[in-house]
Amino acid sequence: MSDEERSRSDGGRLIHLNLFMRLYGHHPSAWQRDAASRTDAFAPDWFAGLAQTCERGLFDAVFLADSQQAVYQREDVSTASMFEPLTLLSYIAARTERIGLIATVSSTLHHPVNAARSIASLHLISGGRAGVNLVTSQSDDEARLHGMDALPEHGRRYSRAQEFAELLFALWDSYPADAVLMDKADEVFLDASRLTRLDHDGAEFRIRGGLNIPQTAAGRPVLVQAGASAQGRDLAARYAEAIYGIGSTIEDGRAYYEDIKRRAIGFGRPESAITVLPGIVTIIGDTLEEAQEKKRWLDSLKSVPRQLDTLSGYIGMDCSGWELDDPMPELPPLQEFAGPKGRYVMMQTLSHDDHGRLVTVGEMLSRISAGGGHLTSIGTPSMIADEMATWFEGRAADGFNVNASLLPEGIDEFVDRVVPELQDRGLYRTEYTASTLRGHFAQTTAPELVA
């Protein structure tokens, strides 16, 4: 089958790719290898290099998560030591041309006016490439940093997030690009009549006025979400243009995908309005055996007590006394778990084998070691492309949030070896047709098939 026939047979859909820029790589032991330098964490050019590689690979976007704590969970976890995302992405914007730039912002810890101004500035600086991953935060320590006793309860956090999202949109729309006249003859720089002043008294926020940053020709920045709870999924389905999905198996991925699309339709949107991007952790080798050995080596860098600590955090249980040959306990129902829901759903799935039997603790540690429960694809470039194609064509994904186990080498391998495999199958773009993030998400047909 030709590329054209393949693309047409799937309605012209193309896979969308996004990189999760995580320190040293997604594997929790990535920072422990000899090649990892202590200075990388605080070198903006290191991150700019990742973005440039992804731009060469025609990715839709790069994405930065956020933590405001020096220590996240434990001292052996490196991911909390990061730049403030919008600042770093502004730096990266000047060193890239086409790739989208997505920053995480907490609606619990920020005020919408400050957030809207910062994101609008990045959008203007980058020529329409900005996106925001709106989250509600998970850590009471972060809340205390901002003067709270603890995070608000779950329902209030999401009602605040809905008000926050609506205010972002209204603020971004308050200064349309055509308000700047620069009429030199009549000495009118700005047509104030085209500006919108918000007069908002809500449950969480009170705002009078509008932004002083004009929109770009690309319109609003793109809103992204990562909802796993019912409230999070509704927030994404109502407002987001992309969502970072969950699922360690294709069955779970497909159920999540169909649920998000159904919710979007329920809010009066076409299902194509939201791009579902489950996480995929990749370990690439010339052979399956080489890739598996890479994973075993990375796993071995983290001691068993540390691995058990990680599992404890994922499932909310003290695992410190467990033995590797012990069977996993049956995990309590989702509604009884107070932590991050999406991760816990994956833990429930991974604690059972394909026949529904509980796996051993050792097997569970191996299953979560590389990706914390996300789809983990280990093998040759062709094998990884096969798995991605299966999820994509099976309505479990519109694309993937790529979590390379090692950075930067893992994304270099992915771009140089996996991307060509996807292109050869007619499943991935061979050139950009847009220069904005929204334009990338809208590209669902190969350029050569566009009339």
- Give pLDDT, residue 72: 61
3-class secondary structure, 224: strand
Q: Which residue has the higher pLDDT, 369 or 26?
A: 26
Q: What distance in Å separates the CA atoms of residue 78 and residue 150, rounded to the nearest whole number?
A: 24
Residue 371 has pLDDT above 70, yes or no: no
Q: What distance in Å separates the CA atoms of residue 354 and residue 357, rounded to the nearest whole number?
A: 7
The one-character DSSP state at 352 is B
Give the tens place of pLDDT for each residue, 385-444: 999 999 999 999 999 999 999 999 999 999 999 999 999 999 999 999 999 999 999 987
Q: What distance in Å separates the CA atoms of residue 105 and residue 88, rounded to the nearest whole number?
A: 13
Q: What distance in Å separates the CA atoms of residue 380 and residue 402, rounded to the nearest whole number?
A: 16
User: Exposed, middle or buried: residue 26 (CB in 10 Å: 0-12, 13-18, 19+)?
Assistant: buried
- Give pLDDT, residue 210: 97
- Give pLDDT, residue 38: 85
- Give pLDDT, residue 4: 41
Angle made by CA atoms 249, 250, 253, in degrees to the nearest 5: 90
Q: What distance in Å separates the CA atoms of residue 309 and residue 398, rounded to the nearest whole number?
A: 33
Cβ contact 399:392 at 8 Å? yes
pLDDT bucket at 88, cuts 50 / 70 / 90: very high
The sign one gets for the Cα dihedral 170, 17, 243, 65 is negative
What count of other Cβ atoms lies within 10 Å of the Cβ of residue 10?
A: 14
- Give pLDDT, residue 448: 43
Superfamily of segment(s) 3-173+212-289+375-446: Luciferase-like domain (3.20.20.30)
Give the tens place of pLDDT for each residue, 116-155: 999 999 999 999 999 999 999 988 889 999 999 999 998 9
Give the tens place of pLDDT for each residue, 53-79: 999 999 999 999 988 876 666 666 656
User: In the chain, where are the structural domains located?
Assistant: 3-173+212-289+375-446
